[in-house]
Amino acid sequence: MTTEPLLSVRDLDVLFDTARGRVPAVRGVSFELAAGEVFGLVGESGSGKSTVLSAIMRLLPGVAVANASQMNFQGSDLMSMSAGQLRGIRGTGIGLIPQRPMTSLSPVTPLRKQLRWFLGDMPQSEIVDLLDQVGLRAVAERLDGYPFEFSGGQLQRLLIMLAALARRPSLLLADEPTTTLDATVQAQVLRLILDLRDRLGLGVVFVSHDLGVIAQVCDRVGVMYAGRLVEAAPIGELFDNPRHPYTQALLRALPSRYKRGERIKVIEGTAAGANRLPGCAFAPRCPRAEAMCREQEPETRSVGGALVRCHFPEDAAGANKPKEAAA
Amino acid sequence: MTIAIEAEGLTKHFSLKQGKGSGPWFRARGMRTVHAVDDVGFKVASGETLAIIGESGCGKSTVARLLLGLTEPTAGSITISGERRVQLVAQNPWSALNRRKTIGHALNQPLLIHRPDLDKDGREARVQELLDLTGLPSDFLLRYPADVSGGELQRVTIARALAAQPRVLVLDEPTASLDVSVKASLVNLLCDLRDDLGLTYLLITHEIDVARLLADQVLVMYLGHVVESGDADQVFDNPVHPYTRSLLDSVPVPDPRRRKELLPLAGEVPSAVDPPSGCRFRTRCPHVLPKCAETRPTARESGEGHLTACHLTAWSPS
C-alpha cells in the first residue's frame, strides 16, 4: 500500500500575461513530496522554481494564470479552494520561508507587534519558548527593537520560527532561505531547518540555485530549466549519474570541480527565450541535440531511478558509464 | 618578483557620533569607535591574486576601499608600487552603472578622463578593444543596462574598469548572486584577463570555491584582524586557525556523499564597536584558552609562508 503523499503536483502550468504576450513561466511540472522529505528545486534565475512555490501557496500575482491537473495538499485540492479556505491553509498548513528576511518584515514596526500580528494573544512564555527553539532566546528581551537592529541570521531564524513552529504546519516551502546569509550563519540555518524536519516530520520543498546547499540538505531534487522540470532524482543519483544534458552541464560548471588556474567548462549560450521554443528548451545549447530535439518536446520518461525529460537520456548519461538495469 | 601592493599596519577606525535616533540602539551609545580594520599587513606580487575571505563585517571591503583611496587609513599604509593605476569591479553591476545612459557611454566616460590623448576615432577603437577583451558584441554600445543580463552587465563593468589600463583590479564580490553557468564564464574571463594583461587582483569574496580557483595568496579576516594568511593551497588544504577551519567547513560542498555534520559555530560575529579583548574570535572559538582574553595572538609561521594568529597553535609543533 502506498500512503498518500503530503503534496502532489501534476502538470502545473503558469502563464504570465505581459505586454509582449503570454509568457510561460512554469510548464508541466509534476512532483510529489512525502512527509519528512526534503525535495529540492534547483535551477538558474528565471527557470520558474520560485513561481512553483507561489503557485502552491496560490499567491501568484494577478497577471498569472495557473493550471494543474492536480495540486493536492493532504488530499485536498488547492486549486479549487476558496480565498477563505486558502487563508486557513497559508501559514497554518503550509509555511513559507522567504528569501530576504529583511524585506519580509515591516521596517517601521517593532518585532513584538509583528509577532502579535501572526501569533495573536499567545502568552509571552510560549513566545519565549518558540524563540528558544530556534536559538533566539537572547532576542526575547529585545523584542521592542526594529528589524534593522538584528542580524540577517537572527531575522531569518525568527521567520523560520513563524513559518515552521508557530502554527505547526506540515509543509514548509523554503525559497532560497540562506542566499543572503554568511557561510557560518547559513550552516546554522540549514541545521535548524533539518532539525525541525527531523523533530516535526515536516515535508520541505527547498528552492535554491546553490547546488552545494542542495547536496547538503535534500533527499530528492528536481532540476528546472526554462519552466520545465527536466530531471528529478534521488540526490545521490542526480550527482553521481546525471542524465539530462543540462544537469550534466550544470554539474560540470561548478567551480569546486576545478583546480586553480583551470578553465571551467561553461554552458554556451543563454536560456533567454527558451521557454517559447517548440521542441526541447535546452536544444539550442545542448551538445547532443538532433533535429528531433528542436521540433518535438520530449516527454518525461523514467530512466534508472530518475525521471528525465530528454529524447536521448541514456546516450547523454551513459557514454562512459555502465548502463543501469531497467527500473 | 616585484611587489604590486603592500599594506603595513593598516588600520581603519570609524567614529560613530551620538545618534539622533530614538531606539534603544541609539540611546545606549555615546561616542563609539568601529574597529573595522586593525593592523593588517600583506604583500601581493605583480601578476598574482590575493583573495581576502571572511564574513560580513570582517573588514574585507574596507581594505578594498583603502586600496582604492576612497577612505584614508587611521594608521599604517597601503601602497601600490610603480604606476598607481587601480580600478574597481563592484559587486552589483546594476548599481555600478547609470541606467539612463547607454553601455557605450559607460565605456567612453573613463577614456575621456584618463586618455585625453585619444580623439573620437581613437576612443572608438579602444572601446571596441574593450568589448573584444570581455567577449561582448558591438551592438551592446547602444543598449541600456536594463536590456542585458546580470552576467553581461558584470562584463561591462569589467570592460569599463579596464578602460584606464589599470595594473591592479579590486574585485569586490565579482560573482556574488550570479547563476552557476554565468559565474563559470566570468571566472574564466578573470583568469584570461590576468594572464593576458598581467593584471594583479585583490579579490574580496565570501565564495570559497571562486577564491580557490583564482587566488595565489589568501588572507582570512575576522572582525578586522587577519587570523590566517599564506599560500592559497596551504590555507585551503591545511587550515590551522579555528576560524578558518570553521569557515571552510561551513561551505556546502556540492557532493551529497560528503554531507557535513553541519555543526556550525555557535553565535554570531560580535560588534566591531566593542570587539572582544585579546583574540577577537575567542567568544565563538571551540578551543578557547584563558590567555585568549588577555593578549592578542601574534602571527606565527605554521608552514612556509603560512602565518596563523592563534595562541593554541603558537606552541604546537606544526
Q: Quick check: is A90 in a domain? A: yes
Q: Quick check: is A51 in a domain? A: yes
Q: Are residues A214 and A239 in the same domain?
A: no
Query: Are A265 and B213 a contacting pair at CB < 8 A?
Result: no
Q: Quick check: is A8 in a domain? A: no
A184 → chain B, closest CA residue: B250
Looking at beta carbons, which residues of chain A come within 8 Å of B251? 183, 212
The pLDDT tens digits for A205-258 are 999 999 999 999 999 999 999 999 999 999 999 999 999 999 999 999 999 999
Q: Are residues A159 and A190 in the same domain?
A: yes
> Domain holding B285: CATH number?
3.40.50.300
Q: How far is CA B205 from CA A255, A327, B20, B90, B208, in A?
A: 14, 44, 34, 11, 7
Q: Quick check: is B291 in a domain? A: yes
Q: What is the pLDDT of residue B50?
A: 97
Q: Are residues A214 and A235 in the same domain?
A: no
Q: Cα separation of A252 and A258, whole Å? A: 9
% of chain A beyond a pLDDT of 90: 68
Q: What is the pLDDT of residue B314?
A: 57
> Domain holding A129: CATH number?
3.40.50.300
The pLDDT tens digits for B160-173 are 999 989 999 999 99
Q: Are residues A214 and A311 in the same domain?
A: no
Looking at beta carbons, which residues of chain A come within 8 Å of B91? none
Residue where one domain finishes, among candidates A187, A218, A249 = A218
CA distance to partner chain A, nearest, from residue B74 (Å): 27
Residue A139's pLDDT band (boundaries 50, 70, 90)?
confident
Q: Are residues A52 and A136 in the same domain?
A: yes
Please give the average per-residue pLDDT across B15-33, as a whole number: 60
Pick from A39, A47, A34, A37: which is nearest to A8 by CA? A34
Enclosing H/E stretch for A156: helix A152-160
B195 → chain A, closest CA residue: A261
Looking at beta carbons, which residues of chain B come within 8 Å of A185? 55, 264, 268
Q: Quick check: is B124 in a domain? A: no
Q: Is the pLDDT of residue A157 over 80?
A: yes
The pLDDT tens digits for B208-252 are 999 999 999 999 999 999 999 999 999 999 999 999 999 999 889
Q: Cα separation of A117 and A140, whole Å? A: 16
What is residue B201's three-state secondary structure? strand
Q: What is the pLDDT of residue B278?
A: 94
Query: Are A184 and B265 a contacting pair at CB < 8 A?
Result: yes
Q: Cα separation of A126 and A133, whole Å? A: 11
- The answer to pTM > 0.90 is no
Please give the average per-residue pLDDT across B29-52, as a whole number: 89
B26's grid cell: 541609539
A69's grid cell: 491537473
Q: Is B17 exposed, middle or buried (0-12, 13-18, 19+ CB in 10 A)?
A: exposed
What is residue A206's three-state secondary structure? strand
Q: Are residues A181 and A280 in the same domain?
A: no
Q: Quick check: is B120 in a domain? A: no
Q: Are residues A46 and A179 in the same domain?
A: yes
Q: Quick check: is A188 in a domain? A: yes
Q: What is the pLDDT of residue A181?
A: 81
CA distance to partner chain B, nearest, from residue A81 (Å): 36
Query: Are B181 and A179 a contacting pair at CB < 8 A?
Result: no
Q: What are phi and psi of A208, to 5 degrees?
A: -160, 155
A201's grid cell: 516530520
Looking at beta carbons, which residues of chain B come within 8 Å of A270? 149
A182 → chain B, closest CA residue: B55
How many CB pairs below 8 Å do chains A and B form together?
Answer: 140
- Nearest CB among A183, A211, A270 relative to B55 is that of A183
Query: Are A188 and B265 a contacting pair at CB < 8 A?
Result: yes
% of chain A beyond a pLDDT of 70: 95
Residue B177's pLDDT band (boundaries 50, 70, 90)?
confident
* Interface predicted TM-score (ipTM) of this complex, two decimals: 0.85
Q: Are residues A170 and A103 in the same domain?
A: yes
Domain that holds residue B235: 3-85+167-314
- Nearest CB among B23, B179, B184 relative to A264 is that of B184
Q: Is the pLDDT of residue B83 over 80?
A: no
Give residue B111's identity as a one-letter amino acid code. L
- The beta-strand segments (E) located in B85-131 are 86-89
Most A-contacting residue of B180, B190, B236, B263 (CB-CB within 10 A), to test interface: B180
Q: Are residues A114 and A145 in the same domain?
A: yes
The pLDDT tens digits for A54-112 are 999 999 999 999 999 999 999 999 999 999 999 999 989 999 998 888 888 999 999 99
Residue A167's pLDDT band (boundaries 50, 70, 90)?
confident
Query: Are B149 and A212 a contacting pair at CB < 8 A?
Result: no
Q: Are residues A117 and A210 in the same domain?
A: yes
Q: Is the pLDDT of residue B16 over 80?
A: no
Query: Are B252 and A154 a contacting pair at CB < 8 A?
Result: no
Looking at beta carbons, which residues of chain A come within 8 Å of B246? 184
Q: Quick check: is B33 in a domain? A: yes
Please give the average per-residue pLDDT across A290-302, as a whole number: 94
Q: Are residues A53 and A181 in the same domain?
A: yes
Q: Is the pLDDT of residue A323 over 80?
A: no
Q: How far is CA B78 from CA B68, B81, B199, B228, in A?
A: 9, 10, 18, 19
Query: Are B250 and A183 a contacting pair at CB < 8 A?
Result: yes
Mean pLDDT over all residues of chain A? 90
Mean pLDDT over all residues of chain B? 89
CA distance to partner chain B, nearest, from residue A247 (Å): 11
What is residue A200's three-state secondary structure? helix
Query: Are B181 and A44 a contacting pair at CB < 8 A?
Result: yes
Q: Cα separation of B2 and A70, whole Å? A: 67
Query: Are A188 and B150 a contacting pair at CB < 8 A?
Result: no
Query: Are B252 and A44 a contacting pair at CB < 8 A?
Result: no
Query: Are A264 and B56 a contacting pair at CB < 8 A?
Result: no
Looking at beta carbons, which residues of chain B come within 8 Å of A182? 55-56, 206
Query: Are B250 and A187 a contacting pair at CB < 8 A?
Result: yes
Q: Quick check: is B129 in a domain? A: no
B56 → chain A, closest CA residue: A182
Most A-contacting residue of B50, B255, B271 (CB-CB within 10 A), to test interface: B255
Look up cell 546525471; give the residue: A242
Q: Is the pLDDT of residue A319 over 50?
A: no
Query: Are B252 and A216 a contacting pair at CB < 8 A?
Result: yes
Q: What is the pLDDT of residue A182?
A: 82
Give residue B124's identity as a one-letter amino acid code. E
Query: Are A239 and B150 a contacting pair at CB < 8 A?
Result: no
Domain that holds residue A263: 231-327
Tell me how many domains chain B contains. 1
Looking at beta carbons, which residues of chain B come within 8 Å of A151? 268
CA distance to partner chain A, nearest, from residue B188 (Å): 5
Please give the average per-residue pLDDT across A26-49, as a whole number: 95
Q: What is the pLDDT of residue B31?
A: 67
Q: For residues A286 and A280, is the Cβ–Cβ distance under 8 A?
A: yes
Q: Are residues A236 and A129 in the same domain?
A: no
Q: For residues B172 and B192, is the Cβ–Cβ distance under 8 A?
A: no
- Nearest CB among A188, A211, A236 relative to B254 is that of A211
Tell me how many domains chain A contains. 2
Query: Are A145 and B250 a contacting pair at CB < 8 A?
Result: no
Q: Quick check: is B206 in a domain? A: yes
